[in-house]
A and B are shown apart, each in its own frame.
Chain A
Amino acid sequence: MTKKKLLVNIFGPILSVVVLISIWQSIVTWGHVASYIAPKPFDAVRSVTSNWSTLAPLTWWTIKETVYGYLAGALLGAFLGVILSKIPLMQRVLYPLLILTQAIPIIALAPPLVMILGFGVMPKVVIVAWIVFFPVTVSVLDGLNHVDKDLLTLAKVFGANPLRRFVVLEMPAAVTQLFSGLKIGATYAVTGAIIGELAASSGSSLALYQRSASGSLDAAGVYGTTLIMTAIGIVWFLLVVGVEFLATPWQRRSTARRWRRGAKPVLPNN
């Protein structure tokens, strides 16, 4: 990446966020919006920092629910994708069930989950996994079904058994697709956690904190909580993008990173 490109990549997003916040600030200031309807951006931030001792453990819970649910969902999703692609019968048997899982309104899922799993972390984790696994399954299935048939033929001629073909060719070939599913899942994950908290919390949680702030007309608290939730979503998404960046170097590099090289470097200027 050139220096100029790097600057654009870093400052572009910062600029768009600054513009957004400025618009928000000016609407609230010059539009004479009452502070119990919408706070100024910095009031929302201040509400978070001044209540951080209360909010920190709640945030931590939400992060845990998001991450555990996401990892479980991603693993399950990838596994199902492989099963569906490798066992044709399973496409007939499982696919309708998978569609069914996504047709159930997530909110309606909470009461039975609470009855089964109680009010702890588990029902939220299940809800997050429930949302995340589907795009992952679809993308893995798609990726595996679109591996170049000639490449698989070549592997057969070379005498590779099906397991090797899968590990050496099909899995890596599906990785690009896998990550598009993982990224979609990453944006949904925190939403799932919050839905879970709304529908399946008895004690304290970010979602309930926001609801009670709303009840007491504390707009800064409401918006501040939203900021936290959004931040969790963004950071998680960026982490997934970072993993993709490390896992698929061939998509943007012309040579392998040094530590991945199998050959002694013969590059004169490197």
Chain B
Amino acid sequence: MSNSTLLVLRGVSKTFGTTTALSPMDLEIERGSFVSIVGPSGCGKSTLFNVLSGLLRPDGGTITLEGKDVIGATGHVGYMLQKDLLVPWRTVLGNITLGARLKGKVTPENREQATGFAEKYGLGEFLNHYPSALSGGMRQRVALMRTLATNHQLLLLDEPFGALDAQTRFEMQQWLLQVWRDTERTVLFITHDVDEAVFLSDRVLVMSPRPGRVVDDLRVDLPRPRTLDTLVSPAFTELKARVLHQLHRERAV
């Protein structure tokens, strides 16, 4: 394990009754990397997230985050879902600082940090707005800022842009890359969209169901920053083809 390894899984497994949701899995995630996970439903990607976030206790194995055993604990990762889950009675500022409130009091530093995020990423004018006044894309931005404001190195993003229209989605992807670069976080990103996975990531994990496991682990060495041109480059298409083949080969069996 090198110094730059943030997260290590060794033999992590989980079964529900007779279904093996996650067969013993070894995985290392490098600090600062962007790793996507693709796979059909039932492949164990959600189980993996639930185990990592501490919602589920694995049947066996070890999970080490920044050198610490985190099995069964919560409060060590940022977490975001397709639903933005903004609370309607708190303003944008109040939603970004929700993590701090849930752990105790919101300090002036929390507010300052939240204000900083909002101003840097174009929501400065909306700090005192309620979520009902925001568009879908803006709401997802606030949700991501809330995730960032928990100040955890590891962010688990579960299809965060799944509900957005194609154009907003592309804008959000580029924005996410910018945020990721600025804040030097490590991202684990679940998606159904192969384009999205390849476009965003340093590494794509392809998972397969029955039993849930990783069947391919490919590096994406496309140059950054990535733009529209990335999406139509031959290298991109080649990687995408490989992921698609993996997905469909597994499904055909």
**Chain A residues proximal to chain B, CB less than 8 Å:** 148, 150-151, 153-160, 164-165, 168-169, 172-173, 175, 248-250, 253-256, 261-268
Q: Which residues 98-149 in B have Cβ within 8 Å of A in the complex?
A: 98-99, 101-104, 106, 111, 115, 119, 124-125, 127-130, 132-133
* Residue of A whose beta carbon sits closest to that of B88: A250
Q: Determine how close the nearest CB of chain A comes to the CB of B188; give it in whole angstroms.
A: 13
10 residue pairs of the A-B complex, CB under 8 angstroms, read: A157-B53, A158-B79, A160-B103, A169-B102, A172-B87, A175-B89, A255-B130, A263-B91, A266-B119, A268-B125
Q: Determine how close the nearest CB of chain A comes to the CB of B7; give it in whole angstroms.
A: 15
Residue B235 is within 8 A (CB to CB) of chain A in the complex: no
Cα A157 to Cα B89 in complex, Å, equals 21
Cα A160 to Cα B102 in complex, Å, equals 5
**Chain B residues proximal to chain A, CB less than 8 Å:** 53-55, 74-77, 79, 81, 83, 85, 87-89, 91, 93-94, 97-99, 101-104, 106, 111, 115, 119, 124-125, 127-130, 132-133, 150
Given contacts A157-B53, A160-B103, A267-B125, whether A256 and B91 have CB atoms under 8 Å apart is yes
* Chain A residues within 8 Å of B101, by CB: 164, 168
Complex partner residue of A263 from B81, B88, B111, B133, CB under 8 angstroms? B111
The answer on a CB contact under 8 Å between A265 and B87 is no
Q: Determine how close the nearest CB of chain A comes to the CB of B95; give it in whole angstroms.
A: 11
Given contacts A150-B85, A160-B102, 9 further A-B contacts (CB under 8 A): A155-B102, A156-B54, A157-B54, A159-B102, A168-B102, A173-B87, A254-B130, A256-B129, A261-B91
* Chain A residues within 8 Å of B130, by CB: 249-250, 253-256
Cα A248 to Cα B53 in complex, Å, equals 33
Complex partner residue of B91 from A153, A159, A255, CB under 8 angstroms? A255
The answer on a CB contact under 8 Å between A262 and B83 is no
* Chain A residues within 8 Å of B106, by CB: 262
Given contacts A150-B81, A255-B130, whether A262 and B75 have CB atoms under 8 Å apart is no
